[in-house]
Amino acid sequence: MLSFKMPYVLLVLPIIAYIFFRKKNSTAIKIPGIHNIKKYSKKTKKHLLGKIFLFLSLASMIIALARPQQISEGKMIKKNGIDIVIALDLSKSMEAKDFNPNRLEKSKELLNQFIDNRTDDRLSLVVFGGEAYTKVPLTFDHTVLKNMVSTITTDDITSNNRTAIGMGLGVALNRLKDSESKSKVIILMTDGENNSGEMSPIGAAKLAKDLGIKVYTIGIGAKELPIPGFFGTSYIKNNELDENLLKEIAITTDGKYFRASDQNEFQNIFKQINELEKSKIDSRNVYDTTEYFEPILKIALLFLMLGIFFEYFKYIRIP
């Protein structure tokens, strides 16, 4: 929107126009027979060019003094992302086929979908089995993270016949302890119970609470496991998953426990976490002002030079 900061200055324009173009009683002496002077007599109006340019110069200066400006309104958006560490169990039991094609591959598929939805967050990947280590530190480069998630296997952990939940949680905490983010989250994914490692899972959970880190725990695995036999397949209760431990970790850190017993439940878990942990977006109106007085002054200077040229050099009038 074009506006003037000092519009009252424009009231001078009609006064200037009147002074420049008001009719005067002519007192000029007519000199017949002088062709070059008669050629530029008042009948041709060419003698007015200088006056017109001088008027345009002064008018432009007045318009520039009124401070014409273009004001555009927009929104400034500030996004406060979350720091999230994904701690993924790579023990051998993650190859169980109660998910299609197995627990680990389904976890990787859903993790990549989750990563796509966290565009404003820093994400990290920690893997654990009998030991734990950081696969990808906190990063905004989600392409690198997705590539790493897609290629991991249970062979990435040497002691993959054990599960050190406390160690996995501890390494994840180490990634977040120096984070300056207002919201810090760990997503712990496992299908077993803590049977290895020097760090207690509950001890790690209490440390997470002290650091202001929330832990969402996901227990992976069907509630009943198929057992093929001579007379057909029978089912037994899945006792491998320590749900009580995962619930206690979540409660201690003000997080939440989720059970992924089938593919639909698994998929809905990440949707719920997305809803629970939204990046904060602050917005406010901003106004961008573009001033035009400088280019108008340049035009005024050009008109002034043309006016002086035509008025005092090109079309000289003899009064």
Q: What is the pLDDT of residue 250?
A: 96
**CA atoms of 16 and 51, how far apart (whole Å):** 12
Q: What is the pLDDT of residue 70?
A: 81
**CA atoms of 234 and 226, how far apart (whole Å):** 6
**CA atoms of 239 and 41, how far apart (whole Å):** 113
The pLDDT tens digits of the residues spanning 101-135 come to 999 999 999 999 999 999 889 999 999 999 999 99
Q: What is the pLDDT of residue 104?
A: 96
Q: What is the pLDDT of residue 226?
A: 66
Pairing of strands 83-89, 184-190: parallel
If asked whether residues 118 and 36 sit together in one domain, one would say no
If asked whether residues 64 and 206 sit together in one domain, one would say no
Q: What is the pLDDT of residue 24?
A: 62
Q: What is the pLDDT of residue 124?
A: 97
If asked whether residues 45 and 163 sit together in one domain, one would say no
Q: What is the pLDDT of residue 234?
A: 66
If asked whether residues 176 and 58 sit together in one domain, one would say no
Residue 274 lies in a domain: yes
Q: What is the pLDDT of residue 310?
A: 78
Cα three-residue angle 52-46-35, rounded to 5 degrees: 155
Q: What is the pLDDT of residue 141?
A: 93
Q: What is the pLDDT of residue 255?
A: 95
If asked whether residues 12 and 145 sit together in one domain, one would say no
If asked whether residues 237 and 308 sit together in one domain, one would say no
Residue 319 lies in a domain: no
**Look-up of token digits 């509630």:** 223
Ranges of residues in the chain whose predicted pLDDT is under 50: 77, 281
Question: pTM score, two decimals?
Answer: 0.64
If asked whether residues 39 and 113 sit together in one domain, one would say no
Residue 186 lies in a domain: yes
If asked whether residues 257 and 293 sit together in one domain, one would say no
Q: What is the pLDDT of residue 66?
A: 83
- Biggest alpha carbon–alpha carbon distance for the chain: 134
**CA atoms of 46 and 313, how far apart (whole Å):** 13
Measured in residues, the chain has a length of 319
**CA atoms of 16 and 158, how far apart (whole Å):** 91
DSSP bridge pairs for 74: 286
**CA atoms of 171 and 128, how far apart (whole Å):** 9
The pLDDT tens digits of the residues spanning 153-193 come to 999 998 989 999 999 999 999 999 999 888 999 999 999 89
If asked whether residues 190 and 266 sit together in one domain, one would say yes
Q: What is the pLDDT of residue 13?
A: 82
**CA atoms of 68 and 70, how far apart (whole Å):** 7
Q: Which residue type sits at 51? A: K
Residue 183 lies in a domain: yes
If asked whether residues 119 and 231 sit together in one domain, one would say yes
CATH code, domain carrying 190: 3.40.50.410
Which of 123, 152, 151, 117 has the alpha carbon at shortest distance from 137?
123
Residue 265 in tokens: 């439940």
If asked whether residues 208 and 261 sit together in one domain, one would say yes
Residue 244 lies in a domain: yes
Residue 53 in tokens: 């340019």
Residue 293 in tokens: 């007085």
When divided into structural domains, the chain yields a total of 2
Q: Determine if residue 224 is left, alpha or beta; phi over 0 gives left, psi from -120 to 50 gives alpha, anything else beta.
A: beta
Residue 51, domain extent = 2-23+30-73+286-314
Residue 169 lies in a domain: yes
- Residue pair 152/90 in contact (Cβ under 8 Å)? The answer is yes
Can you state the angle between helices 49-65 and 12-21, rounded to 10 degrees?
Answer: 170
If asked whether residues 218 and 251 sit together in one domain, one would say yes
